[in-house]
């Protein structure tokens, strides 16, 4: 397993539509393992393949709290089949938008179909933090970031700060 660098916004690789996986083979399993390790190292609760520069429909999650038993999930080709009318608001962050957070309102529950680590088709219904986290990660596969769900003013402010931080880093590295 390997820890990979996480791309931070703004970056065109975070705006693409990722390609379907179709079959979870050893290559995809290696990608899932690397993503899980990368997410854990970064102390995140979710990561999508485009965030490490891989344009495939793969996401990993673990919403277990500190001290709880880990609950890793590794999903390929996740498809949201149903969204509840009821909404829920969570303060969201993202490993690609470090140090920025905003309240995002999404459907409170979803039903999801995906391919698991063993290439089996699974269907689950989830709510709460896990439902929000899955929607956030599935968004990444379509080039959508959590800031795309908030006001234009707030989004502009966050992206300008991130661009500035990125310029400062590249100048420091030059």
Residues marked as catalytic: 137
Nearest residue (CB) to Ni ion, 24 versus 100: 100
39 binds Ni ion, rule: CB under 5 A: no
Write out the two tokens for 14: 């975070």
Q: Specify whether the CB–CB gap between 6 and 96 falls below 8 A.
A: yes
Number of shown-chain residues binding Ni ion (CB under 5 A): 1
Q: Which is nearer to Ni ion, 94 or 131 (CB)?
A: 94
In whole angstroms, the minimum distance from the beta carbon of 46 to Ni ion comes to: 6
Q: Please identify, using beta-carbon distances, which residue of 94 and 112 lies nearer to Ni ion.
A: 94
What x-and-dash track marks residues 44-83 binding Ni ion by CB under 5 A?
----------------------------------------
Dihedral (Cα; 118, 125, 41, 173), 10-degree rounding: 100
Query: Is residue 94 part of the contact set for Ni ion (CB under 5 A)?
Result: yes
Give the span between the Cα atoms of 115 and 39, in whole angstroms: 20
CB of 134 to Ni ion, least distance (A): 11
Please identify, among the stretches 30-38, 62-70, 93-101, 149-157, the one whose residues bind Ni ion according to the rule CB under 5 A. 93-101
CB-nearer residue toward Ni ion: 94 or 134: 94
Report whether the peptide linkage leading into residue 10 is cis, meaning its omega lies within 30 degrees of zero. yes
Task: State in angstroms the smallest separation of the CB of 29 from Ni ion.
Answer: 22
Least Å distance, CB 96 to Ni ion, is 5
Which residues contact Ni ion (rule: CB under 5 A)? Answer: 94
């Amino acid at each position: 397993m390997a820890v990979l660098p996480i791309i931070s916004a703004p970056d065109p690789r975070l705006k693409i539509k990722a390609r379907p996986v179709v079959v979870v083979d050893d290559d995809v399993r290696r990608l899932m393992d690397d993503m899980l390790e990368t997410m854990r190292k970064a102390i995140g609760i979710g990561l999508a393949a485009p965030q490490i520069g891989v344009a495939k429909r793969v996401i990993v999650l673990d919403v277990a709290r500190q001290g709880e038993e880990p609950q890793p999930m590794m999903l390929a080709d996740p498809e949201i089949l149903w969204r509840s009318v009821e909404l829920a608001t969570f303060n969201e962050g993202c490993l690609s938008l470090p140090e920025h957070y905003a309240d995002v309102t999404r459907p409170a529950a979803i039903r999801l179909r995906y391919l698991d680590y063993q290439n089996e088709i699974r269907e689950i219904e989830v709510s709460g933090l896990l439902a929000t986290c899955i929607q956030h990660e599935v968004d990444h596969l379509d080039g959508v970031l959590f800031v795309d769900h908030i006001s234009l003013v707030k989004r502009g402010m966050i992206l300008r700060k991130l661009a500035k931080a990125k310029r400062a880093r590249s100048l420091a590295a030059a």
